[in-house]
Amino acid sequence: MSLLELQGLTKRYGGIVAVNDVTMAVEEGEVRAVIGPNGAGKTSLFHLITGVVKPTVGEIHFGGHRVSAMPAFGRCQLGMSRTFQITALFPEMSARENTRLAAQARDPKRWLPLGGGGVFAEAARRGDAALERLGLTHVAERPAGLLSHGDQRLLEVAMALAQQPRLLLMDEPTQGLSVEETAQAVDVLAGLFAGGGLTVLLVEHDMEVVFRLATKMTVLHRGTVIADGDPDSVKADPVVQDAYLGGYA
Ligand code: ATP
């Protein structure tokens, strides 16, 4: 069984079909990008997977569990961690405190009044390791709100990583970054993914970013999957060319 399996997933908002009978899987170790033009249903699909909204029809299995109706928190406990399109940090806390809190949020013993020190130390250790993987150790003591925009996006990834996810979900990791910041962030992410051991599902508009990072792609058009495969075959697919890429290849 795949780590994440979507079967016949449909989301309707009144008369609008945002996601239409989507069946796809994410295998352990792959970095899968979901792409598609504006309104294709990428964000809606992301919301269905993370539990922000419930499917109208269809099933979601994660790590062998049926999670179709499970709230977002339960999915997080099973090992889904996400970053957000809009920066979601505690700006007055240091980068280190942000990652430590993120690590702690996943720990079932986090509210124990006694013995909390061990939980705290372990969370701090995991948070520091995540900062290091994102190349942020040198800014660990700085308030998150004072970091550059690019480092703030990477800090969000570090926070998700500090939770040691089985599946890392990234919603437009380079959204709002300048060309230089995007190039730097993509270098860091490419290095992180090349290290192996992570399974990633990302939604991204920027095709340069997608082709640099993704090992697999799913293309959505009007809520429907029109292509699924490795980046080279997707890029060469005439249906994708027609619907979306418009001569990118
Ligand atoms: P973008 O790239 O612009 O973010 P997207 O691919 O993420 O687009 P969605 O935001 O998932 O696409 O939207 C898919 C369709 O569903 C659109 O027609 C959108 O207007 C509609 N939609 C999304 N969320 C809602 C909602 N809460 N209520 C009504 N319609 C919605």
Instruction: State the distance from the centre of ligand 1 to the C-alpha of 8, rounded, in angstroms.
Output: 18
Please list the alpha-helical segments (H only) found in the chain.
42-50, 72-78, 95-105, 116-133, 149-161, 179-194, 207-213, 231-236, 238-240
In the reported structure, the alpha carbon of residue 92 is separated from the centroid of ligand 1 by a whole-number distance in angstroms of: 33
State the pTM of this model: 0.90
42 and 105 housed in the same domain = no
* pLDDT of 162 over the 90 cut: yes
**Are 60 and 173 in a shared domain?**
yes
Q: Which of 164, 198, 219 is the last residue of a domain?
A: 164
> Do residue 43 and residue 93 come from a single domain?
no
Per residue in 172-225, pLDDT (tens digit) is 888 889 999 999 999 999 999 998 899 999 998 888 899 999 999 999 999 999
Cα(17) to ligand 1 centroid in Å equals 9
Sequence-distant contacts of 235-238: CB under 8 A, at least 24 apart:
235/211
Judgement on whether residues 239 and 174 belong to the same structural domain of the protein: yes
pLDDT tens digits, one per residue of 126-155: 999 999 999 999 999 999 999 999 999 999
**Domain with 61 in it:** 1-79+166-249
Residues 93, 159 share a domain: yes
CATH of the domain at 6: 3.40.50.300
Query: Closest residue (by CA) to atom 19 of ligand 1?
Result: 39
Q: Which residues line ligand 1 (CB under 6 A)?
A: 13, 16, 18, 36, 38-44
**What is the domain count for the chain?**
2
DSSP, collapsed to helix, strand or coil, labels residue 227 as strand
Q: Which atom of ligand 1 is nearest to the CA of 14?
A: 29
Reported as type and span, the H/E element at residue 216 is strand 216-221
Domain match, 154 and 191 both: no
Residue at a domain's end among 132, 164, 196 = 164
Which of 164, 195, 215 marks a domain boundary?
A: 164
